[in-house]
Amino acid sequence: MNKEINSFEIVNGLIDSSVKKLNLGRAVYDLLSQPQRVLTVTIPVQMDDGSVKMYTAYRSQHNNALGPYKGGIRFHQDVDLDEVKALSSWMTLKCAVLNVPYGGGKGGVIVNPKELSFGEMERLCRGYVRAIAPVLGSEVDVPAPDVGTNGQVMAWMMDEFSRFKNHNEFGVITGKPVILGGSRGRIEATSRGCVFTIREAARAIGLKLKDATVVVQGFGNVGAIAARLLKDDGCRILAVSDTSGAIYNPRGLDISTLEEHKACTGSVKDFPGSQSITNEELLALSCDILVPAALENQITGANAAQIKAKIVAEGANGPTTPEADRILAARNIMVLPDVLANAGGVTVSYFEWVQNNSGYYWCEDEVNERLERKMVEAFNEVYCLYKKRKDVDMRGAAYMVAISHLAEAMRIRGWLGTQMYSDAKCEFKLA
């Protein structure tokens, strides 16, 4: 997270604005502005040289009005508590936008996973689960992968929790390998959901995807798969970046060959036929669709005026700051917000959880069809509100949809009391 920009303050500012636009009471904001529970734990890990190193880690459980807490576990050297709290808030909103019966959670460990051996990584994963096991469970809190973690990490964590419980509990973790109860289509889900949202947005503004130009910031799991899927839709991928730098080819990049190049070399640098550019140059390229799929706070007040895309589809969480949002809105650039655009991952995580609980598993086509249906329904609800109201952009509309769902659930559960709704208890409804 950019330390000069506090993501937790950003998300709370957006929640506050949406609560006011929906004419809700202060209690709604108070319940959504802070997590219900935050754990800070210290994990001792024996390193390969025999020494013991201590790692600080977090788990933020934001709100469970709609269902169990749900959210990824991030392994990154720049993890901090406010970042984890912000990400758990986004997860609550994301689940509410998609009508997925989960609340929001998030975990983080302060570590550079690239510095760990395979064995050290496993011991850290198991130690993290042991530290937070009392607040986990398939009906309590269901983690998943995030930056720096993957299916193997989830397998270790599920196994450790199952040892803690003395029986297999596949449903406590999602994003697992298929052989251990993972869902087909889960690896591609975040990217595929983002592409479904881009398709709907392109249709809404009259942009044809065939020959549309695309720039992708972040060529990790989300960005690389999104680039491949958009190329399959006929788009031309002009530029991509990863932590090593950015590359550009005005004629378009061969994504399949680029994926092979990165698998062999570890980066997109020096890809044949491309030229190196800076991250700043990449974001300022003229294109139809920009997909920021890296980390938070990449499009800011300092560079938003240089964005030349028609659609900005947030594959990452929180890549655009509020100041940048205002600039982009004034320039009629449609931003597909993270709580909508990258919600495919949590949606298929929900499908995985459902399959674990039922013991019946779906084929990949069925997963993708169900995902498309959920993403299209969510886009239409957000877009209809965006078109109906003149005082919100797509992000504001998405937040209002999410908070209306959450407020209804909290009211019915009795969390908000009765006085504020005694005269007009359905005042916050969108219709």
**Distance, C-alpha 125 to centroid of its chain:** 21
Distances (CA, A) of 405 to 51, 70, 342, 363, 410: 50, 17, 19, 30, 9
pLDDT of the chain along its 431 residues, tens only? 445 678 899 899 999 999 999 999 899 999 999 999 999 999 999 999 999 999 999 999 999 999 999 999 999 999 999 999 999 999 999 999 999 999 999 999 999 999 999 999 999 999 999 999 999 999 999 999 998 999 999 999 999 999 999 999 999 999 999 999 999 999 999 999 999 999 999 999 999 999 999 999 999 989 999 999 999 999 999 999 998 899 999 999 999 999 999 999 999 999 999 999 999 999 999 999 999 999 888 999 999 999 999 999 999 988 999 999 999 999 999 999 999 999 999 999 999 999 999 999 999 999 999 999 999 999 999 999 999 998 999 999 999 999 999 999 999 999 998 645 544 444 455 54
| Residue ranges per structural domain of the chain | 36-172, 188-332
Q: Amino acid identity, residue 272?
A: P
CATH code that applies to domain 188-332: 3.40.50.720
Q: Specify whether the CB–CB gap between 129 and 157 falls below 8 A.
A: yes
Q: Could you tell me which residues are beta bridge partners of residue 76?
A: 110
Tell me whether the CATH fold assigned to 36-172 matches the one assigned to 188-332: yes
Q: In whole angstroms, give the CA distance from residue 290 to residue 27.
A: 37
Contact between 125 and 153 under an 8 Å Cβ cutoff? The reply is: yes
Instruction: Tell me, yes or no, if 388 is annotated catalytic.
Output: no
Q: Are 170 and 180 in contact (CB under 8 A)?
A: yes
Q: Which CATH architecture has domain 36-172?
A: 3-Layer(aba) Sandwich (3.40)
Among the options 70, 94, 106, 262, which is catalytic? Answer: 106
Residue indicated by tokens 């998300």: 11
